[in-house]
Amino acid sequence: MPYPSNYRYTTEHEWVAPQGKTARIGITDFAQHQLGDIVFVELPPVGTPLVAGQAFGTVESVKAVSEVFSPVSGKIVKINDALVKSPELINQDPHGAAWMVEAELDGEVPAKLMDTKAYEQFVAEAEAAH
């Protein structure tokens, strides 16, 4: 699955899709492959503050429970209710329909986040190490 070129990525395999003063956040295709079949997603309510680098939710698969870390700081303005009802969407469309939260940004998307090319190289190195 190609990684969208307008997204930015973290070393923990989250993505952020900036849309002006807001951004959608989710986990990458690589992350969902590592987790396996997703069976449960826990997301915070609208209004919850986000701090870049801090956990805001969890994704549970048949293999493990993983925290999801925010790539940006801001406040949650929308959650993806479809994920609560159908967590398997993450396995089917991690970069599209399976966005987790939408946040109102506090400032800019951090410059340290990887662009698509850097993230693809990061993933290739991770896969080569296994």
Q: How far is CA 19 from CA 6, 24, 60, 80, 104, in A?
A: 10, 8, 28, 16, 10
H-helix or E-strand spanning residue 116: helix 116-129
Is the residue at 101 inside a domain? yes
Is the residue at 2 inside a domain? no
Is the residue at 25 inside a domain? yes
Is the residue at 53 inside a domain? yes
What pLDDT score was predicted for residue 49?
98
Residue 37 has phi, psi (to 5 degrees) of -65, 120
Is the residue at 3 inside a domain? no
Domain coverage including residue 121: 8-129
What pLDDT score was predicted for residue 7?
97
What pLDDT score was predicted for residue 89?
97
The CATH code of the domain that includes 91 is 2.40.50.100
Domain count, the chain: 1
Instruction: Answer whether 33's CB lies under 8 Å from 8's CB.
Output: no
H-helix or E-strand spanning residue 126: helix 116-129
What's the pLDDT tens digit per position in 16-35?
A: 999 999 999 999 999 999 99
What's the pLDDT tens digit per position in 1-19?
A: 789 999 999 999 999 999 9
What's the pLDDT tens digit per position in 68-126?
A: 999 999 999 999 999 989 999 999 999 999 999 999 999 989 999 999 999 999 999 98
What pLDDT score was predicted for residue 130?
74
Is the residue at 92 inside a domain? yes
What pLDDT score was predicted for residue 2?
84
Is the residue at 21 inside a domain? yes
Is the residue at 40 inside a domain? yes
Q: How far is CA 112 from CA 8, 78, 84, in A?
A: 9, 25, 30
Q: How far is CA 88 from CA 10, 63, 66, 78, 96, in A?
A: 22, 14, 15, 19, 13
Task: Please state the pTM of the whole predicted model.
Answer: 0.95
